[in-house]
Structure 1
Amino acid sequence: MMNIDDIITAREKMMGTVHQTNLEYSSTFSKLTNNEIYLKLENLQKTGSFKVRGAFNKVHSLTDEELKRGVIAASAGNHAQGVAFSASALNIPCTIVMPKGAPISKIQATENYGAKVVLEGETFDDANNYARHLQQETGATFIHAFDDEGVIVGQGTIGLEILEQLPDVDAVVCPIGGGGLIAGIATAIKEINPNVKIYGVQTSAVPSMKRSVAERNPIMVNALPTMADGIAVKKPGDKTFEIVQNYVDDIVLVDEMEIARTMLLLLERNKLLVEGSGAAALASLIYGKLPLENKNVVCLVSGGNVDVNFISKIIERGLVESGRYSTFKVILNDKPGELEQLLHELAVTDANIRRVIHHHAGKDVLPGYVQVEISVETRNKAHIEQIDWMLKEKYMHVEFI
């Protein structure tokens, strides 16, 4: 079984190639959570996520015969880039199977490292099954995304860095998909300082590790759509499950709204572009999922590979959820001056108008009337309630979307 000496050896192996990422104190999130919050910025790691650590350690531990056959892996995106980067450094063939819905940015980045990308299935588990099939056909060496000791050991190097950067750390909060990241970190930290609490965070859309721990056996769960594709794993690994059982103190869940709001907060307050899985750990603290107060807490920001087309959707969704953007429909008389009067009344409330659309036809629009759809920037939910009250006092058929 792997141990702390293996993790120390892995760290020596990757020095000069894999970054030691910064541990950044955040006064904003410390105030929000009533803790001292430190962000471990693996979103600034080479290839944009922590995954390169495990992939690099595993690939550079292969025999010459295994390297000759090339490597193959399945990934939602981040492990793909880590394996492709590591394979390109050794100039060996690399095939990556990714789910069909993988972000375009992750697909392109993987191809840019020289890997052949095959799109198969709807989830990581589908892609993983197909990659196993290809591996049997080609004889390539399979690099598992999480359930492999070499990969787990590589991820554990983060734990060593945390203990050096913050010796008096009280707790570490880490996202969980298949469990490779938290298994490595927990092994490193608990074997050096067992008093440090280790907490895992999953999306409520795919709570595979939490359910497995509750049932004391790795189980398959149904996967709902989630923006946290990096932790959307329907069944944890056998090796990672055993380590999590031994070393992880608790696992909590966050939902899609909490993830979206946290992504927006990280972008707005800390100028950090973070993917859904990378925001999950911090979301659990912001929304009070963990019994921590006045503690030195490290949150793993595990990755920052966000599809550019997805960023605007996250920003808009986060603004809506925080009460800073709203859309409503109102029925007006279809005559001059009606719209001008409505816009004036909105201006009095200090709402900033972003979009106006006229609907002259529709099931709720009678002859002689027009339905106006207006999107506005607002300060908060109380501001939206003020606008709602004002509109319903003056107009019929007001509907907030």
Structure 2
Amino acid sequence: MDRSVYPEAAARIRDHIRRTPLVPAAPTLPSSVPGTLFFKPECLQVSGSFKARGAFNAVLSLPDEVRRRGVVTASGGNFGAAIAYAARELGLPAEIVVMTGSTPYARARISGYGATLHVIGEHWDLSWEAGKALAAERGGALLHPFAQEPVIAGQGTIGLEILEEMPDVDTVVVAIGGGGLIGGISEAIKQRKPAVRIVGVETEACPTLHAARAAGHIVKIENFVTNVPILAARTTEPINFDLVERNVDELVLVPEDEPKPVAEWMWKNTGLAVELGAATAAAAVLNGHVRTRPGEKVVAVLCGSGTDGLGL
């Protein structure tokens, strides 16, 4: 993607999103973790996650006559909420399909923003097929949650903000679902600071990009059970796979039983209520899956808010 798309996206969405701060984990950081850890709390973003960045950039990039017909998407929850929020703010109709495993919290947010909610499909790709059918039947722009350039560019604005606030950052850690977040962040950062290490994080049950990298091509993960359904995209798309292969230095896997206690730790020690996807990225650092060294500056992106790890 062209270098200019990221600052253009930042300018386009500036009045619609929050610029989230970098929050130091210290003094609560366990002494067993070398380096200095910071959190980029997109859990504080409008609509509850980083997805608002891509949602607004995608919707605002549509021609006026297309946008007026409304928008349709399928989502694990966060992109649906972001599109619903953007549609409400811009006065547009929205149809959102979510997986059967999506949380009540996510569904309530989508309905609360005024979108029409449909619960279809055990996995995201099945929900996406339902979304495509809805768009064909009822009209409206079909927006992909992770494999369209305007969406990826919007997510990449996080990378720009990290570099602006911490030009000497060493490592950025990002959880992976379909690959839109890490694709945008990694490309935006590597275009400007190629030496920054980008680490992608998946759960052991659904290692979509890890398996694709090992195979040398896109794969589909079958017959899995995960504790982190928000990250459970069974496959990725060529644009995301290409960005990951070009820009992501390491892919690590986190055991399924680790995100929940880390989400509890985050709430008790930082006051941040993060979803299990965000807790997966934090767990990768806090539990040593991402190797760090003394003095290393590490940023873990907390992709979204939620109570799924808190038992609420």
Q: Which TM class, normalised by the smaller chain length?
A: over 0.9
For residues 274 and 30 of structure 1, what CA distance do their matches in structure 2 show? 19
**What is the aligned partner in structure 2 of residue 269 from structure 1?**
269
**What is the aligned partner in structure 2 of residue 10 from structure 1?**
9
Residue 30 of structure 1: CA displacement?
6.0
Provide the aligned C-alpha RMSD in A.
Answer: 1.4
**What is the aligned partner in structure 1 of residue 306 from structure 2?**
305
SS where residue 4 of structure 2 aligns?
Answer: helix
8 Å contact kept, 1:262–1:279: yes
For residues 16 and 71 of structure 2, what CA distance do their matches in structure 1 show? 20
For residues 291 and 264 of structure 1, what CA distance do their matches in structure 2 show? 22
For residues 30 and 190 of structure 2, what CA distance do their matches in structure 1 show? 24
8 Å contact kept, 2:263–2:310: no
- How far does the alpha carbon of each residue in 1:317-350 deviate from its partner, in whole angstroms, 9 at most, with x for none? xxxxxxxxxxxxxxxxxxxxxxxxxxxxxxxxxx
- How far does the alpha carbon of each residue in 1:339-362 deviate from its partner, in whole angstroms, 9 at most, with x for none? xxxxxxxxxxxxxxxxxxxxxxxx
Q: Which has the larger radius of gyration?
A: 1
SS where residue 9 of structure 2 aligns?
Answer: helix
**What is the aligned partner in structure 1 of residue 118 from structure 2?**
118
- RCO comparison, higher one (Cα < 8 Å, 6+): 2
**What is the aligned partner in structure 2 of residue 212 from structure 1?**
212
> Which amino acid letter does the alignment assign opposite residue 134 of structure 1?
L
**What is the aligned partner in structure 1 of residue 189 from structure 2?**
189
For residues 203 and 254 of structure 2, what CA distance do their matches in structure 1 show? 5
Residue 240 of structure 1: CA displacement?
0.7
**What is the aligned partner in structure 2 of residue 45 from structure 1?**
45
Name segments (4+ residues, structure 1) moved above 3 Å. none
> Which amino acid letter does the alignment assign opposite residue 276 of structure 1?
L
Residue 166 of structure 1: CA displacement?
1.0
> Which amino acid letter does the alignment assign opposite residue 137 of structure 1?
E
> Which amino acid letter does the alignment assign opposite residue 307 of structure 2?
V
Residue 223 of structure 1: CA displacement?
5.1
**What is the aligned partner in structure 2 of residue 100 from structure 1?**
100
Residue 31 of structure 1: CA displacement?
2.7
**TM-score, normalised relative to structure 1:** 0.75
Task: Map 1:73-112 to 2 at 5 A.
Answer: 73-112=73-112
SS where residue 234 of structure 1 aligns?
Answer: coil
> Which amino acid letter does the alignment assign opposite residue 261 of structure 2?
R
**TM-score, normalised relative to structure 2:** 0.96
SS where residue 126 of structure 2 aligns?
Answer: helix
SS where residue 60 of structure 1 aligns?
Answer: helix
Q: Percent same amino acid among aligned pairs?
A: 36
**What is the aligned partner in structure 1 of residue 168 from structure 2?**
168
For residues 248 and 146 of structure 2, what CA distance do their matches in structure 1 show? 16
8 Å contact kept, 1:78–1:106: yes
- How many residue pairs get aligned? The number is 310
For residues 311 and 59 of structure 2, what CA distance do their matches in structure 1 show? 36
**What is the aligned partner in structure 1 of residue 245 from structure 2?**
245
SS where residue 32 of structure 2 aligns?
Answer: helix
Task: Map 1:1-400 to 2 at 5 A.
Answer: 2-27=1-26, 28-29=28-29, 31-222=31-222, 224-294=224-294, 295-307=296-308, 311-312=310-311
- How far does the alpha carbon of each residue in 1:102-142 deviate from its partner, in whole angstroms, 9 at most, with x for none? 11111111111110001101121211111112222223210
For residues 102 and 290 of structure 2, what CA distance do their matches in structure 1 show? 31
SS where residue 169 of structure 1 aligns?
Answer: coil
8 Å contact kept, 1:68–1:92: yes
